[in-house]
Amino acid sequence: MNLVICPGYHDSQWTTDFCQGLLTPWTLTHPSPRLWVVPVPPALPFSPCHLLHWLKTQGLQPTTAPALAFIAFSAGVVGAMAAAQIWHRQGGGVQAFCALDGWGVPVGGGFPIHRLSHDFFTHWSSALLGTGSLNFYADPPVSHADLWQQPQGVGGWACDRRSSPNSSPQYLSAAQFLYQVLSPTVATL
């Protein structure tokens, strides 16, 4: 697994907390992922050009790099979504795109997309601008910051829009949701 973490505008400790909260349990059951954390600054979270340039400084080229999974938060969703689309059009593999609280950001592409939201309203209103088939919203609602800083402690509902009306959503943590959608061996929730 090759993860590109795209933070927004916030204290860098939030991203450190996210990575620890996500990766500590992950490495107990999965091989350790290769991780690239985009530095903000100098990269601008809303700029796909900055993100693509930074990936190239890390030795990654679309046609030779392994497939990447993008995990983006807040303003980082803006630049990461456009960068993932460009990367994909240039022949790069995009295993998945996970948008955490990318409210107001249109999403779409020829790769799996998943939205994670800190409450139901954000989940519902973000879906108007595009969504993946598997998505997550926190219940009870949490703060915008908590979704990023503590994915292992945020409970909520995984929603599969491909399911029949009689199917039940699954309750799990945001981190567990990310494990499931990023695991190449798990096809559905």
Question: What is the model's pLDDT at position 184?
Answer: 61
Query: The whole model's pTM is what?
Result: 0.91
Beta strands at 94-100 and 134-138: parallel, antiparallel or unpaired: unpaired
Question: What is the model's pLDDT at position 148?
Answer: 96
Question: What is the model's pLDDT at position 186?
Answer: 41
Question: Please, which residues bridge with residue 69 across strands?
Answer: 3, 96
Question: What is the model's pLDDT at position 185?
Answer: 40
Question: What is the model's pLDDT at position 189?
Answer: 36
Q: Which domains does the chain have, with CATH numbers?
A: 2-182 (3.40.50)
pLDDT tens for the 189 residues of the chain, in order: 899 999 999 999 999 999 998 887 666 666 777 899 999 887 889 999 999 999 999 999 999 999 999 999 999 999 999 999 999 999 999 999 999 998 888 898 899 999 999 999 889 888 878 788 799 999 999 999 999 999 999 999 999 876 556 667 899 999 999 999 998 644 333
CA dihedral angle for residue 178, residue 179, residue 184, residue 189, rounded to 10 degrees: -80
Question: What is the model's pLDDT at position 124?
Answer: 87
Phi, psi of 144 (to 5 degrees): -55, -45
Task: State the greatest distance between any 2 C-alpha atoms of the chain, in Å, as a whole number.
Answer: 49
